[in-house]
Amino acid sequence: MATGCYTVKKYPPNQPFVFKTGINIQGNLPAEEKANLESRLENQLDDSLRLKILTPFPLVQKLVKPPVFDTAAASRTIGFMNNLLYSLGYYKATIAWDSTIRIIKDKQAVEVTFTVTPGKSYRFDSIAYVIEDSILLNLALASRGNSLVKKGNPYSVEVISSELDRLVEVYKNNGYYKISKEDLQAERDTVIAALINPNLDPFEQLQLLQEARKRQENPTMNLIFRLREGISPAHLKKYYIRNVSIYPDLDLLQDTTVTNLNYAATNNINGIIVNSIYNKFKPGFVVSRSTLKPGNLYRQNDYIKTYTNYTQLGAWSQVNIELMETADSTQQLDVEIKMFPGKKQDVNFTVDGSYNTADIISTGNLFGVGLNFGLNNRNVAKQAILSSTNLRTGIELGKGFIQTQQVSLQHIINFPKLILPFKVSTKDSLTAYRTQLNFNAGYTNRKDFFELRSLNASWGYGWVKKKHTLFYSPLNVEFVKLTRKKKLEDLIDSIPNLAYSFNDGLIISQIFGYTYNNSFGKRSVALRLGLEESGGIFGFIKGLDTKANLSRFVKLDADLRYYINHPKSTWAFRLYGGTGIPLGRDIVGAKEKTLPFFKSFYAGGPYSMRAWSIRQLGIGSSRYFEDSLKGNDRFGDMQLEGNIEYRFNVGSFFGIKIKSAFFADIGNIWFRTDYGSTTLKNTDFKLSRLYKDLAVAGGTSLRADFDYFLIRFDWAYKIKNPIYSDINAGWFHGLQLFKGQFQLGINYPF
């Protein structure tokens, strides 16, 4: 009985020991609120009720050294839980506990259950700021739109504490360097003040009593923010910056007082002193990253941004910013920025792999392995310019051994500034801004299919503003030289229109990318948008549009991810959509019909529709590619995909965290049109046929988490195969237990 869930080791024989604890929450709380409250109440268990459960192997759990049961521990737990509930606004909660004991031989296993009836929590009613200092009052009122305390929202001590932190931040960003959270207080009032007025007539008193009874049904609370009594006058004064000194190349083992060091150079730039020991950085560049400047009003945001500007560059391993009050009591601050450079250069070598196949006779890719060699220089030209060179070589193995060979060389130069022909007035509101120059050369040999040689050069800009990251490349040039092989020629003979895709190509494009990341509680969201257009300007040059085979198109895609995180599990959701529209003309003047194949969409593999091998799903619900062209890569002009995973911890194995997941994928790729060809029937996207065209996959996963990376073993089934949409809409066609798709991936699929 006692070992039904896990084995018990080193238990106290013939004594009651804690085998299991449970929390039962009563009341009509929303499911999410109840789950969150249960998790928080579990953290209030007394130490004598906490269990040590080990997982030495996956699916094997052991309860080790369970504590002897003591009723006093249950009483203490009720006290802890009441404190938590009180802090969350549940002022009238009731908690009771009971226990059951089951005896088998010398085991006396006790299960302790806490029944919690929290009742209704208080909500905020009126919120007021009663601050005697007029400047502080006006700052608080001006920022009320950002207040974390809203009328009607649930009361909690945490929310009030966060609001006090916000007010302190507002004040510190307006020069009040010394003010702190201890200088403010929040007064709570749950009583109708007029009830204690002795001059009320009976009728008014009855009306107020009726209002009080309503408050018991839906309790509310008034809140007043004010300054504490006895606040120091110095905390109510604004501070300005007097001197700024920067030490850009200190050694970690040096005396950080910087008073006894021999400096090779001292420079004064716009009133900022730069003291260099080894001249590793240009003084002008160092000064440009500081938003703390002499004569300015002290603002905490300037302090944080200065720290961020230096640490994000990667040239320094440690940055310390010290603020010191001047001795003359003039409300001024001296700033010392002490920086310790990291390694200028490093070499790295990595190996990555992937695995995917439909079955043992599949002609799709089976196993891929890649080798990466990288060289980084983090301080080119003494301005923290990052130069990164990466050489990659890889192969994909399948039936017939080597299916794909690939070699690429990439060189990226990141300038930590926006190199523009005009001044950007908003630069001070941005962080991590950069200009990126990229060169790339690659060679791909797809057995029996094609040889691809490519060159790419681009110039772009990136910047971060709070939770928003943007990238814009005004010039991206790609040249592709394609040598067709027999398998591709046969494919083009079957579908002549593919000749427009699989050809030599030139792209002169602009690229825009945007990402948004945000977390709120246990939830997080990530949005990525991409836009690329080619030939919008250079396409009007006839020699490029036709003679040089310039591809003209617009391509858009969007990727939305949403996560609900629990202590031992995560729900992960993803929606993806993309489309491309060709706009140009070919060499004979006809309109281009498809995207270049290296810009097209494909599905399948360890990071997409996992029940299909890579590039083997689609197109639409056409069976032509499966019956006549099995094994050939499939590309489309449109893609829709949705994914959901329930991820959970399994245990550990020799110190390696083992995780698992259940997942489902839904999606497909399409052509924009079937070009009037009966061969390509059902390959074009039509909303009326969307249900038939969508593929559905489901499966499970085993994952080994090494902290820095994760190895993923996915096993997926084709739950709905659109090429059999004429047979039960494609559901469960040919589904067999041991006929699934195995995928090997690195890190999470999304």
Residue 245 and residue 188 share a domain: no
Q: State both tokens at 125.
A: 């009613």
Q: Give a yes or no: residue 257 inside a domain.
A: yes
| Phi and psi at residue 230, to the nearest 5° | 80, 15
Q: What is the pLDDT of residue 61?
A: 75
- Give the three-state DSSP class for 32: helix
Dist CA 507 CA 476 (whole Å) = 8
Terminal C-alpha separation, the chain: 41
109 and 96 housed in the same domain? yes
Which helix (H) or strand (E) segment holds residue 488: the answer is: helix 486-494
Q: Give, for 691, the enclosing helix (H) or strand (E).
A: helix 690-693
Same domain, 634 and 739: yes
Burial of 31 (0-12, 13-18, 19+ CB in 10 A): exposed
b/e for 668-680, b at 16 or more Cβ within 10 A?
bbbbbebeeeeeb
Question: What pLDDT, on a 0 to 100 scale, did the predictor assign at position 330?
Answer: 84
pLDDT tens string 443-487: 999 888 889 899 999 999 999 888 999 999 999 999 989 898 888
pLDDT at 362 over 70: no
**The domain spanning residue 22 has which CATH number?**
3.10.20.310
Phi, psi of 524 (to 5 degrees): -145, 155
Q: In what order do the strands lie in the sheet with 123-129?
A: 123-129, 220-227, 184-189
Q: At what angle do helices 157-172 and 134-142 cross, to 10 degrees?
A: 120
Residue 469 lies in a domain: no
Decide: pTM greater than 0.75: yes
Q: Looking at residue 120, what DSSP letter applies?
A: P
Residues 60 and 137 in one domain: no
State the DSSP H helix or E strand holding residue 413, giving kind and residue range, or none if neither. strand 401-415
Q: Are 122 and 221 spatial neighbours (Cβ–Cβ below 8 Å)?
A: yes
Contact criterion met (CB below 8 Å) for 661 and 570: no
**DSSP secondary structure code for residue 585 in this structure:** B
Q: Does residue 625 form part of some domain?
A: yes
561 inside domain: no
Which amino acid, residue 727? Answer: I
CATH of the domain at 671: 2.40.160.50
- Gap between the Cα atoms of 388 and 622, Å rounded: 44
Q: Are residues 745 and 608 in the same domain?
A: yes
Examine the domain organization and report whether 111 and 218 are in the same domain.
no
Is residue 609 pLDDT above 70, yes or no?
Answer: yes
How far apart (Å, rounded) are the C-alpha atoms in residues 7 and 3?
A: 5
How many alpha carbons lie under 13 Å from residue 654 in its C-beta half-sphere?
1
- List CB contacts of 585: < 8 A, sequence separation 6 or more: 545, 546, 552, 591, 592
Q: Give the pLDDT band of residue 281 (cuts 50, 70, 90).
A: very high
**Together in a domain, 358 and 332:** no
**pLDDT tens across 288-330, in order?**
999 999 999 999 999 999 999 999 899 999 999 999 999 887 8
In the block, tokens 């002193």 appear at 273
Asked if residue 664 lies in contact with residue 643, where contact means CB atoms within 8 angstroms, the answer is yes
> Residue 172: which of 306, 299, 292 has the closest Cα?
299
For residue 625, the model assigns a pLDDT of 82
Task: Name which of 487, 530, 483, 535 is nearest 509 in CA terms.
Answer: 535
**652 located within any domain:** yes
Specify the residue for token string 């500081």: 290
Strand partners, 577: 558, 640
**What would the pLDDT profile of 669-725 be if each residue is shown by its tens digit?**
999 888 778 888 899 999 999 999 999 999 999 999 988 889 999 999 999 999 999
Clarify whether residues 46 and 63 are in a common domain: yes
Phi, psi of 398 (to 5 degrees): -160, -160
Domain count, the chain: 5
Contact 613, 630 (CB under 8 A): no
Please report the beta strands in 546-673, taking only residues with DSSP state E, as ranges in sequence order.
Answer: 553-565, 569-582, 638-653, 656-670
Of the candidates 310, 341, 372, which is a domain's last residue? 341
Largest CA distance in the chain: 101
CA distance 149 to 158: 11
Phi, psi torsion values for 278, nearest 5 degrees: -115, 0
Q: What is the mean pLDDT of the chain?
A: 86
The pLDDT assigned to 1 comes to 32
Residues 58, 143, single domain; the answer is no
Lowest pLDDT segment from 104-108, 435-439, 651-655, 737-741: 651-655
Strand partners, 423: none
168 shares its domain with 200:
yes
Detail the DSSP E strand segments found in 270-312.
Answer: 272-276
**Is 616 part of any domain?**
yes
Domain stops at, among 380, 400, 416 = 416
Tokens of 405: 């060979």
DSSP 280-339: -S-HHHHHHT----TTSBP-HHHHHHHHHHHHTTSSEEEEEEEEEE-TTSSSEEEEEEEE
Q: Is residue 445, in this structure, part of any structural domain at all?
A: no
| 105 and 138 share one domain | no
Q: Which of 233-237, 256-260, 448-452 has the lowest mean pLDDT?
A: 256-260
Answer whether 601's CB lies under 8 Å from 671's CB: no
Residue-wise pLDDT for 552-608, tens only, equals 899 999 999 999 998 889 999 999 999 999 887 665 566 777 788 788 999 998 899
Beta strands across the sheet bearing 332-341: 265-269, 272-276, 240-247, 332-341, 316-325
Cβ proximity of 509 and 551 under 8 Å: no
What is the pLDDT at residue 359? 33
What are the tokens at 557?
């895609």
Task: Determine the structural domain holding residue 411 and report its residue range.
Answer: 344-416
Q: How many angstroms from the chain centroid is the CA of residue 270?
A: 39
What's the token pair of residue 387? 């130069």
In a domain, 543, yes or no: no
Do 295 and 383 fall within a single domain?
A: no
Rounded CA separation 302/293 (Å) = 9
Alpha-carbon span 574 to 473, nearest angstrom: 26
Which residue among 318, 341, 364 closes a domain? Answer: 341
